[in-house]
Amino acid sequence: MNASKKFGGGRPPTGTPSLAWSCVVVVVSLLAGASVVHNIYKPNLTLPPVDNQGETRKGQEE
């Protein structure tokens, strides 16, 4: 007696997704989440002006 007929003979198992596709899905979802957060919070990524750096080096050398 065949086992598939004994238990109803449903669809054969399709298997699990590969590790590479899982990694791709994780990276894409992280980038999408970061994009959403940056569009909501709009972080200020400007650098402060560097005015006194040359003067402090001259003061340390003297």
pLDDT band (50, 70, 90) for residue 24: very high
Q: Token pair of 33, please?
A: 């989440």
* pTM of the predicted model as reported, rounded to 2 decimal places: 0.44
Q: How many residues does the chain have?
A: 62
| pLDDT at residue number 28 | 96
What is the Cα–Cα distance from 38 to 30, expressed in whole angstroms? Answer: 12
* Terminal-residue alpha carbon distance, the chain: 97
Note the Cα 24 to chain centre separation in Å: 9
Provide mean pLDDT across the span 17-39. Answer: 91
Looking at residue 34, its pLDDT comes to 92
The larger pLDDT score, comparing residue 60 to residue 35, is at 35
Element of type H or E holding 30: helix 19-41
Residue 4: what pLDDT?
Answer: 55
